[in-house]
Structure 1
């Protein structure tokens, strides 16, 4: 292997697969592939957001009745939690670039911890919704707004949107914990530094979706 190729691999921090001509090509292909997938996920959430906005325009009273049961303080706290997690994830990426492995691992653990905190708060909010009879898909808990079909539709939309986001976040936390364990191993940055950057795109996407969810479901309808 030539010295120039060694320097290139050290710069991009990845281990090249055989079907790629250069390490840089592999890095760009990985980012492009993830961006394409994230765009399809964005289209999915965009449909949910658009439906929520249309419901608000057509049935403002019903939507407001549901929004009054949403726990604004939990939504606001979770928004702050994910914003902070974006900073810790960005810190992990920057630390991986400068080669500070221990600091990178700590930043990744902090990010996973913040994601777990979000899920715990969201679970508590779901429990309060259940206690207040605001889950129309549970027949044993009579729905408080059962006579209003528009409110039922908006409530279902709320659970679908926040539940789908929670699944994405749970997946992200699980992957991040595995990557953190791998990142604590010797010479991880020499071979797989690019993986941290690629995963960072996914984590920032999760944060962005919630930053849209919070105003669309919690703020605009109060």
Structure 2
């Protein structure tokens, strides 16, 4: 698609009149998509809460097997990553390209650390026979409510992990692009639009942690 360049040097697609219009359209598109993703997670949260109300004993016994320290640690990691992503956005607005790239890489590193801890937690779940979807003995026997809650836990955290893996991958590519000369004068808005996605990932986990780890202990 051909590009027009406005007087301040920001590339504007031919179907937009101004850079502000293009920026607002990009932000609106991201918000619309994030709302659909929120609805997806909301269904899983609702199932977990209903199970908690209907089968409190089973869900409590299951939740006690979850690694609270990993869930809490990962919550702190993602909150910190939101701060570094916000720093990257602010640096992009000020034209501080080097600081922006460094903050983006720090954000990606924190996201990777989250995934490593989550992978370790899943491994421990496997070792402790807390994987009801596999053809092996389950630690809590034939408790169907417990199995359902654990499957909801895996589905929710795996879906979140997929979003985070995608986010880290995009962020690394974006950081490479942002390190090139002239990026901010043409594509600064990409940093802000992507920032919405990263903050969404953080927000989802901030809901996941109390719903799955805290409420049923």
Same fold at TM > 0.5: yes
State the distance in 1 between where 2:139 and 2:168 align. Answer: 34
Partner of 1:219: 214
Q: By how many angstroms is 1:143 displaced?
A: 1.1
The Cα of 1:146 is off from its aligned counterpart by 3.2
Which one of the candidate residues 171, 196, 205 is aligned to 1:201? 196
Cα offset, 1:116, TM superposition: 0.1
Moved over 4 A (4+): none
Structure 1 unpaired stretches of 5+ = none
The match for 2:7 is 6
Report what 1:171 is aligned to. Answer: 166
Task: Show the counterpart of 1:70.
Answer: 66
Query: SS state of the match for residue 134, structure 1?
Result: coil
Aligned to 1:119: 115
Structure-2-length-normalised TM-score: 0.96
1:27, 1:90 → 2: CA distance? 18
Partner of 1:15: 11
Partner Cα separation in structure 2 for residue 146 and residue 32 of structure 1: 48
Q: What is the match of residue 182 of structure 1?
A: 177
Root mean square deviation, CA, Å? 0.8
- CA deviations on 1:60-102 (whole Å, 9 max, x unpaired) are 0110111011000000000000000000000000000000000
1:150 aligns with 2:151: no
* TM-score (norm: length of structure 1): 0.94
Aligned length, in residue pairs: 212
CA distance in 1: counterparts of 2:155 and 2:110, whole angstroms: 22
**Structure 2: 5+ residue stretches without partners:** 1-5
Displacement of 1:145: 1.9
Aligned-partner Cα distance in 2 for 1:131–1:108: 35
